[in-house]
């Protein structure tokens, strides 16, 4: 299972990375800004209560119980008017030892074995499920993360993980509260990784071009 992603060809992945970079560059030219994608969002302070896992996956944040404070941004990818469908994103910033932070980016998707890899646009960000789309590399194999809305509880999400096409296992509950700080915050999951979560080479090639384009856009703003 862990070797599955590496069978993708370098040429296809480089082409995918170039495509993401070109798409990002096009949006940046049409709408020059520090954040051409996800230009407007709402910040929340979050408390994550982690219950841990009986069967560890090799990621301390997921495996071990505890309470973590976080910063969460919910946004619309294209910044379309609220009445129009858009692709919603959720960015989670977690503290890391040494005064660093780690960023996890999720997008609105389904939760099925296939639909967790499919973006699902919608008009509202409420009651939507999110996933990381591209699996992380861990000592236990490819791992996806998800944020699943809690039925009957406003602004609460269960955080879950799953190996490729396997069932989700909940490891934490995250509750959001309005944050008084609404300054521009930039998230970068390629530079700011969580201990135990890595990227496969193919995923780095796929994403790095797009994130380089994002950094250039911010530098030129």
Among the ranges given (111-115, 125-129, 209-213), the one the predictor scored with the smallest mean pLDDT = 209-213
pLDDT of residue 131: 94
Mean pLDDT rounded to a whole number for the chain: 80
pLDDT of residue 127: 82
pLDDT in tens, 28-76: 444 444 555 556 788 999 999 999 998 999 999 999 999 999 999 998 8
pLDDT in tens, 170-202: 999 999 998 876 667 889 888 899 999 998 887
pLDDT in tens, 78-89: 767 777 888 899
Does a structural domain hold residue 31? Answer: no
Q: What is the CATH number of the domain that holds 143?
A: 2.40.180.10
Domain interval for residue 147: 38-200
Does a structural domain hold residue 5? Answer: no
Confidence tier at 213 by pLDDT (50, 70, 90): low
pLDDT of residue 143: 95
pLDDT of residue 84: 81
Whole-Å CA distances, 90 to 22, 55, 63, 83, 95: 23, 27, 22, 19, 17
Does a structural domain hold residue 175? Answer: yes
Does a structural domain hold residue 66? Answer: yes
Does a structural domain hold residue 219? Answer: no
Residue 1 has pLDDT above 80, yes or no: no
Confidence tier at 21 by pLDDT (50, 70, 90): very low
Does a structural domain hold residue 129? Answer: yes
Q: What percent of the chain has pLDDT over 70?
A: 73
pLDDT of residue 203: 78
Q: Is 102 helix (H, G, I), strand (E, B) or coil?
A: strand
SS3 content of the chain, % helix, strand, coil (to 5): 25, 35, 40
pTM of the full predicted structure? 0.78
Confidence tier at 22 by pLDDT (50, 70, 90): very low
Residue 45, CA atoms < 13 Å, CB-side half-sphere: 6
Does a structural domain hold residue 218? Answer: no
Are the beta carbons of 116 and 132 closer than 8 angstroms? no
pLDDT of residue 182: 66
Average pLDDT over residues 103-122: 92
Does a structural domain hold residue 133? Answer: yes
pLDDT in tens, 9-18: 444 334 433 4
Most confident of 53-67, 111-125, 203-217: 53-67
**What is the longest distance spanned by two Cα atoms in the chain?**
49
Number of domains in the chain: 1
């Amino acid at each position: 299972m862990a070797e599955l992603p590496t069978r993708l060809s370098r040429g296809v992945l480089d082409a995918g990375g170039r495509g993401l970079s070109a798409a990002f560059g096009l949006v940046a030219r049409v709408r020059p800004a520090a954040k051409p994608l996800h230009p407007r969002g709402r910040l929340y302070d979050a408390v994550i209560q982690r219950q841990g896992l009986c069967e560890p996956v090799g990621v301390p944040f997921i495996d071990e119980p505890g309470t973590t404070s976080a910063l969460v941004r919910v946004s619309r990818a294209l910044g379309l008017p609220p009445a129009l469908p858009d692709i919603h994103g959720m960015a989670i910033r977690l503290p890391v030892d040494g005064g660093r932070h780690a960023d996890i980016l999720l997008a609105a998707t389904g939760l099925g074995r296939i639909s967790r890899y499919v973006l699902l646009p919608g008009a509202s960000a409420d009651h939507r499920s999110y996933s990381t789309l591209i699996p992380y590399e861990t000592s236990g194999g490819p791992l996806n993360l998800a944020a699943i809305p809690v039925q009957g509880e406003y602004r609460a999400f269960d955080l879950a993980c799953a190996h490729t096409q396997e069932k989700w296992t909940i490891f934490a509950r995250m509750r959001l509260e309005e944050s008084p700080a609404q300054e521009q915050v930039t998230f970068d999951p390629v530079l700011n990784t969580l201990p135990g979560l890595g990227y496969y080479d193919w995923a780095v090639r796929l994403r790095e071009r797009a994130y380089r384009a994002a950094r250039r856009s911010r530098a030129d703003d």
